[in-house]
Amino acid sequence: MKAPTRQKLVEAAVRRFYRDGFRSVGIDQVLADVGISKTAFYKHFQSKDDLMLAALEMQNVWLQDTFRTMIRERGGSTAIGRLRAALDVVDLIIESDDFQGCIFVNAAMEFPLPHEPAHVAASENKQAIENILHDLAVDAGANDPRALAQELCLIMEGTYVTRHVTGNKQTIDIARRVADLVIASRCPGA
């Protein structure tokens, strides 16, 4: 079954924006990737900005779903194991052939003003991931679940950026060691 045009546009936009940057990509490039006219594009989106937000939302949904699934599948039956499995998601992302950093960090960097819609979308994604980790930290009996969630998010973000900037394949190993220390310091019996 063929994907609807709107979905094709969003998927093409994600690939282009992620690889080339949000501001650098013109709408004509995305249209060429999909093989449609501007008239057809405007039946689905009012502007490039609307397409950018749809692309970020699609990635937000994918990342949260992937995050929850991998944590459940790889983390085992304990909340501590599921907290540690958060780094498995990071590993999956940074080891992909087309890794270009975190799309949400990229969006926030290109749209640095906190009120810009792309920046807001990036911030909302980061908060959603923190909330998932917070819930796991509560289940794990952390002495300060919010602090643990924030610390793990910082480790994850640092991993994305360090791997992207340096290319160091050991980055994930370092991140896992630091995450283990943080989890052990916050969760009695870890």
Q: Is residue 168 part of a domain?
A: yes
Q: How far apart are CA 21 and CA 181, in angstroms?
A: 35
Q: Is residue 68 part of a domain?
A: yes
**How sure is the predictor about 80, in pLDDT bands with cuts at 50, 70 and 90?**
very high
Q: Is residue 31 part of a domain?
A: no
- Arithmetic mean of pLDDT, 78-97: 92
Q: Is residue 146 part of a domain?
A: yes
Find how far residue 71's CA is from the centre of its chain: 15
- Arithmetic mean of pLDDT, 94-99: 90
Q: How many domains does the chain have?
A: 1
pTM of the model: 0.90
Q: Is residue 154 part of a domain?
A: yes
pLDDT (tens digit per residue) in 122-181: 999 999 999 999 999 999 999 999 999 999 999 999 999 999 999 999 999 999 999 999
Domain of 152 in residue numbering reads as 47-186
Distances (CA, A) of 42 to 38, 51, 57, 88, 151: 6, 10, 19, 39, 42
SS3 24: coil
* Residue 174: CATH number of its domain: 1.10.357.10
pLDDT above 70 covers a percentage of the chain that reads 98
Q: Is residue 5 part of a domain?
A: no
